[in-house]
């Protein structure tokens, strides 16, 4: 795509509600409040100011109650309920009354001081979610201040079509009460991903970019503005080429969004009633939110390498436990398959020296390292086991070539369990154990390995590379890297068949699982569990819910008779449309 030079200023904020909008800026002017400096003279003044505060709180709460009735989503109502609690907060009242009685301040000044202290306290918290509550407190304070008679209430404006509201910050009540049926975007100077304004913008499906910082001043009332609520890009007065490029982007975004809306809560079931499980691959606890947003049913592959990379020494058992436990808790009781350390090959650790190898992918990596350096392995297994009591974990060993490695790994796992039992540390006694199927020798002996484990997970990337003897990073031969090669497909079919024959689960977590071209074929070969990057889930689900398993089986059988991958891919293309 032709991308023109950006002559004009653009700014980058945090995209908090995805979507692309092009509209007219409407800049919200902020009220400026100053203290009155009045000092109370006598007991009578003090009582009057306390009464005045109580009345203002009551009116403020009533205002919000009225807004709740109009709240469109339960998220919005929840936020307003919380704000009502804040208005009525006894601690806040105690603090305000203290300033009135002891400090002789009037209600207005007393409240301003208390709100300043409170917002500063929350701003200084390390947790992003709590930091964002500072603006809720500010908002509650402003509402009471308004009702103390300090300021005239601004009448809410009515917007022309295609308005983008540009503000320093937006309170949740603003985002709910503003007449926003004509509003197509929010841009703010302040705020983060967890600000309530962001949450509400998301729940109403309005693109929003927050935290633009000082560049925010670059937008003037009436400017045409282009914004991308996903990347956080804001372009005031965009060029025609920029607009055209983003109109295209908006189209594809809307298509995906519609698909997701339609399918997020739909069960992943074929038209003839077969359930196909859709899991996601993750590397961190934070990824789980997206997984559930996209309709994922759990995690088919939790890569544990992230914690080991970009640091100076091995993570301790406690550090690993903290991460795994966080994943367990955030997975809300859904199943999570944890893959033990898969380093070596292209993933090197600075503090763990692996001497240069002629063929790193055929060398010292993954389970081979773990079985050699047992202390590393035991530390990780203990951390995973301890976390297993907080969720529904399975353990998966990568790079298994044969039965001896499985038995060794299981023996070390049994030892780790024993250590925990002796220390009386709880863990899931029945934690399932499985292996990655990514080495041809394991694939071809799937029948022999099945009795040793609870599940197989097919790693198509390595399986493809090893069975075709091709390095896909090598420009000269990467054309040969082809998961539709009949040899690879036969290996996959055999693994699935043998797994099911021996009554164990078989899943796939390699890239092929997220390729829409392969979905029906894999289902036809009997695959019941797909694990992929979360973003691909709606696309794959869309295929599953529109087809029946009988057709998929016929496709599987037809493909198995084809001798050439180009032919197979052409055939699959016609089947998908």
Partner 1 sequence: MISKVYTILAAEGIHARPATALVRLARQFSSSVYLKKNEAMVKLDSMLNILSLATKAGDVITMQIEGEDEVSAAAVLDQFFTEQLKHL
Q: Least distance from C-beta 86 to partner 1, angstroms?
A: 6
Question: Would you say 215 or 283 has its CB closer to partner 1?
Answer: 283
Provide the residue count of the chain. 577
Q: Is 336 in the site for partner 1 (CB under 8 A)?
A: no
Question: Would you say 125 or 566 has its CB closer to partner 1?
Answer: 125
Of the candidates 130, 215, 376, 433, which one interacts with partner 1 according to CB under 8 A?
Answer: 130
Q: Least distance from C-beta 135 to partner 1, angstroms?
A: 12
Touching partner 1, residues 136-155 (CB under 8 A): 136-137
Residue 179, strand partner residues: 158
Touching partner 1, residues 76-95 (CB under 8 A): 78-79, 81-82, 85-86, 89-92
Q: Is 359 in the site for partner 1 (CB under 8 A)?
A: no
The rounded distance, in Å, linking the Cα atoms of 415 and 324 is: 20
Question: Would you say 87 or 338 has its CB closer to partner 1?
Answer: 87
Stretch of 2-10, 128-136, 356-364, 562-570 lying at the interface with partner 1 (CB under 8 A)? 128-136
DSSP letter string over 104-157?
Answer: -B-HHHHHHHHHHHHHHHHHT-S-HHHHHHHHHHHHHHHHHHHHTTSSPPPPPP
The rounded distance, in Å, linking the Cα atoms of 568 and 517 is: 10
Stretch of 126-134, 263-271, 352-360, 478-486 lying at the interface with partner 1 (CB under 8 A)? 126-134
Is there a catalytic annotation at residue 70?
Answer: no
Of the listed 212, 370, 464, 509, which one is catalytic? Answer: 509
Best CA proximity match to 508, nearest among 354, 394, 519: 519
The rounded distance, in Å, linking the Cα atoms of 54 and 48 is: 10
DSSP-based helix, strand, coil % in the chain, nearest 5: 50, 15, 35
Q: Is 571 in the site for partner 1 (CB under 8 A)?
A: no
Of the candidates 11, 22, 118, 148, which one interacts with partner 1 according to CB under 8 A?
Answer: 118
Of the listed 196, 212, 464, 547, which one is catalytic? Answer: 196
Is there a catalytic annotation at residue 464?
Answer: no
The rounded distance, in Å, linking the Cα atoms of 338 and 531 is: 13
Question: Would you say 11 or 328 has its CB closer to partner 1?
Answer: 328
Ramachandran angles phi, psi of 300, nearest 5°: -90, -15
Q: Least distance from C-beta 464 to partner 1, angstroms?
A: 36
Stretch of 145-153, 157-165, 263-271, 324-332 lying at the interface with partner 1 (CB under 8 A)? 324-332
DSSP letter string over 170-205?
Answer: --HHHHHHSBGGGEEEEEESS--TTSHHHHHHHHTT
Q: Least distance from C-beta 399 to partner 1, angstroms?
A: 32
Q: Least distance from C-beta 121 to partner 1, angstroms?
A: 7
Ramachandran angles phi, psi of 11, nearest 5°: -135, 155
Question: Would you say 174 or 529 has its CB closer to partner 1?
Answer: 174
Residue 168: count other Cβ atoms within 10 Å of its Cβ. 14
The rounded distance, in Å, linking the Cα atoms of 472 and 421 is: 45
Query: 173-182 — which CB contacts under 8 Å span 24+ positions?
Result: 173/64, 173/67, 173/80, 173/83, 173/139, 173/143, 175/76, 175/200, 175/201, 175/204, 176/67, 176/70, 176/71, 176/72, 176/76, 176/80, 176/200, 177/67, 177/70, 180/204, 180/206, 182/158
Stretch of 326-334, 348-356, 479-487, 529-537 lying at the interface with partner 1 (CB under 8 A)? 326-334
Of the candidates 30, 31, 129, 419, which one interacts with partner 1 according to CB under 8 A?
Answer: 129
DSSP letter string over 448-479?
Answer: HHGGG-SEEEE-HHHHHHHHTT--TT-TTTGG
Q: Is 329 in the site for partner 1 (CB under 8 A)?
A: yes
Per-residue mark of binding to partner 1, 366-405 (x: CB under 8 A): ------------------------x---------------
Q: Is 63 in the site for partner 1 (CB under 8 A)?
A: no
- Catalytic residue ranges: 196, 509
| Site residues for partner 1 per CB under 8 A | 78-79, 81-82, 85-86, 89-92, 118, 121-122, 125, 127, 129-130, 133, 136-137, 322, 325-326, 329-330, 332, 390
């Amino acid at each position: 795509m032709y991308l023109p030079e950006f002559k004009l200023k653009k700014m980058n904020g945090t995209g908090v509600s995805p979507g692309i909008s092009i509209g007219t800026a409407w800049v919200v002017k902020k009220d400026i409040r100053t203290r009155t400096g009045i000092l109370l003279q006598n007991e009578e003044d003090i009582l009057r100011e306390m009464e005045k505060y109580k009345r203002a709180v009551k009116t403020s709460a009533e205002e919000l109650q009225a807004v709740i009735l109009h709240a469109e989503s339960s998220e919005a109502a929840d936020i307003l309920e919380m704000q009502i609690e804040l208005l009525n907060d006894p601690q806040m009242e105690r603090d305000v009354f203290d300033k009135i009685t002891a400090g002789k301040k009037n209600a207005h000044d007393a409240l301003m001081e208390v709100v300043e202290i409170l917002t500063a306290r929350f701003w200084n918290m390390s947790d992003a979610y709590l930091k964002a509550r500072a603006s809720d407190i500010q908002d509650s304070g402003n509402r009471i201040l308004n009702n103390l008679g300090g300021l005239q209430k601004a009448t809410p404006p009515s917007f022309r079509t295609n308005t983008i509201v540009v503000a320093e910050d937006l309170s949740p009540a603003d985002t709910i009460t503003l007449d926003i049926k004509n509003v197509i975007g929010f841009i703010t100077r302040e705020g983060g991903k967890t600000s309530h304004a962001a949450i509400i913008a998301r729940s109403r499906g309005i693109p929003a970019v927050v935290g633009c910082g000082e560049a925010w001043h670059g937008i003037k009332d009436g400017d045409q503005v282009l914004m991308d609520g996903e990347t956080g890009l804001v372009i005031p007065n965009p060029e025609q080429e920029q607009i055209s490029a983003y109109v295209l982007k908006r189209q594809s975004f809307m298509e995906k969004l519609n698909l997701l809306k339609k399918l997020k809560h739909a069960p992943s079931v074929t038209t003839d009633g077969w359930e196909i499980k859709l899991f996601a691959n993750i590397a961190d606890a934070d990824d789980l939110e997206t997984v559930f947003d996209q309709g994922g049913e759990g995690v088919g592959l939790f890569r544990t390498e992230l914690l080991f990379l970009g640091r100076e020494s091995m993570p301790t058992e406690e550090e690993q436990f903290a991460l795994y436990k966080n994943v367990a808790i955030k997975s809300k009781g859904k199943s999570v398959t944890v893959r033990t350390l898969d380093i070596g090959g292209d993933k090197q650790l600075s503090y763990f020296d692996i001497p240069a190898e002629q063929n790193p992918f055929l060398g010292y990596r993954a389970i081979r390292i773990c079985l050699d350096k047992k202390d590393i392995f035991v530390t990780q297994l203990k951390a995973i086991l301890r976390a297993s009591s907080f969720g529904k974990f399975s353990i998966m060993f990568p790079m298994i070539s044969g039965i001896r490695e499985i038995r060794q790994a299981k023996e070390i796992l049994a030892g780790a369990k024993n250590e925990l039992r002796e220390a009386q540390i709880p863990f899931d006694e029945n934690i399932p154990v499985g292996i990655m199927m990514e080495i041809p020798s394991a694939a071809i002996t799937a029948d022999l390995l099945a009795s040793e484990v609870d599940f197989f997970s097919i790693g198509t990337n390595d399986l493809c590379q090893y069975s075709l003897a091709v390095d896909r990073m090598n420009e000269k031969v990467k054309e040969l890297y082809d998961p539709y090669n009949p040899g690879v497909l036969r290996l996959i079919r055999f693994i699935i068949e043998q797994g099911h024959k021996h009554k164990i689960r078989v899943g796939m977590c390699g890239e092929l699982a997220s390729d829409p071209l392969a979905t029906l074929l894999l289902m036809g070969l009997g695959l019941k569990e797909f694990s992929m990057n979360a973003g691909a889930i709606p696309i794959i689900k869309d295929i599953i819910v529109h087809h029946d398993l009988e057709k998929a089986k016929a496709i599987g059988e037809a493909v198995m008779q084809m001798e050439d991958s180009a032919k197979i891919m052409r055939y699959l293309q016609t089947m998908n449309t």
